[in-house]
């Protein structure tokens, strides 16, 4: 009981807000939660990233279960992504530890990479249709071996980006898979990306916990608000125009991303 009484109500409210946005737009919570923790609550960037990674692992596990039961996961694609992301995640966590968790350089690096990740995410939200059209025009003949290698490379890049910033497993991962697998139904693309995000964020989150950058009270506080928020947002999503929500969200991410990069 004393544990719950020590929770700052602003954290569950923030979790509720982020959960609603995730449910409405499908954009990963890291794109919003981590910058909220860093910029509004003054949480150390490393702690914000580490806590958000475990937060994402919990919330995305539910999505993976739903997609798994619905047989909308291409497990081979998920496995190829993991083949790239697992080793780079381990190497990135090791590098962060060697830099020194509380050092000014580590804090600046995480903030900068978070800003870059947010800017890239906003671009994929705004120009996904154009990006996919460009990729379709310049794609050659099907080459399964090349596609497999590019999928592994995509996983490797996501491993680095997510481990440093907690952002990228959602919008960036889905866009990359849409380019690599144009014939795969979108629902299976999304399901495969969510399924990959669980081991990626869990491994990176455990790594951050190991080096001391996870706040468990903060994690529980965020989940209290976000879990019902995701449910509510998912139910409201069909009633609200996605064409309005995504540009607004992209605009917010651009502003926050620039703030972190320039700071």
Q: What is the pLDDT of residue 237?
A: 62
Q: What is the pLDDT of residue 75?
A: 93
Q: What is the pLDDT of residue 141?
A: 67
Q: What is the pLDDT of residue 233?
A: 76
Q: Give Cβ neighbours of residue 34 (< 8 Å, ≥ 6 apart).
A: 48, 49, 52, 114, 165, 166, 167
**What token pair was written down for 238?**
């069909």
Per-residue pLDDT tens for 14-58?
Answer: 988 888 877 766 666 777 888 889 888 989 888 999 999 998 888
Spatial separation of the C-alpha atoms in residues 150 and 130, rounded to whole Å: 20
Per-residue pLDDT tens for 224-234?
Answer: 988 888 778 76
Q: What is the pLDDT of residue 254?
A: 84
Q: What is the pLDDT of residue 176?
A: 87
Q: What is the pLDDT of residue 250?
A: 78
pTM: 0.83
pLDDT < 50 positions in the chain:
1, 3
Q: What is the pLDDT of residue 104?
A: 77
Q: What is the pLDDT of residue 139?
A: 66
């Amino acid at each position: 009981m004393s544990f719950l009484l020590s929770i700052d109500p602003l954290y569950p409210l923030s979790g509720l807000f982020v959960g609603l946005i995730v449910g409405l737009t499908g954009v990963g919570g890291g794109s919003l939660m981590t910058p909220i923790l860093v910029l509004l609550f003054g949480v150390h960037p490393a702690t914000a990233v580490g806590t958000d990674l475990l937060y994402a692992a919990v919330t995305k596990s539910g999505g993976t279960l739903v997609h798994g039961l619905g047989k909308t996961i291409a497990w081979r694609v998920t496995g190829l992504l993991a083949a790239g992301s697992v080793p780079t995640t381990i190497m990135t966590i090791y590098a962060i530890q060697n830099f020194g968790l509380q050092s000014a350089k580590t804090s600046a690096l995480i903030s900068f990479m978070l800003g870059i990740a947010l800017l890239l995410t906003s671009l994929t939200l705004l120009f996904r249709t154009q990006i996919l059209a460009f990729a379709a025009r310049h794609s050659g003949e099907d080459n399964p071996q090349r596609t497999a290698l590019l999928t592994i490379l995509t996983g490797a890049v996501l491993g680095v980006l997510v481990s440093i910033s907690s952002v990228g497993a959602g919008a960036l991962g889905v866009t990359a898979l849409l380019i690599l697998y144009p014939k795969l139904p979108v629902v299976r693309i999304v399901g495969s990306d969510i399924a990959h995000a669980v081991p990626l964020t869990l491994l990176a989150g455990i790594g951050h916990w190991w080096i001391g950058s996870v706040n468990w009270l903060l994690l529980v506080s965020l989940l209290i608000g976000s879990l019902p928020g995701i449910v509510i947002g998912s139910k409201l999503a069909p009633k609200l125009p996605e064409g309005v929500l995504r540009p607004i969200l992209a605009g917010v991410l651009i502003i926050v991303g620039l703030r972190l990069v320039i700071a």
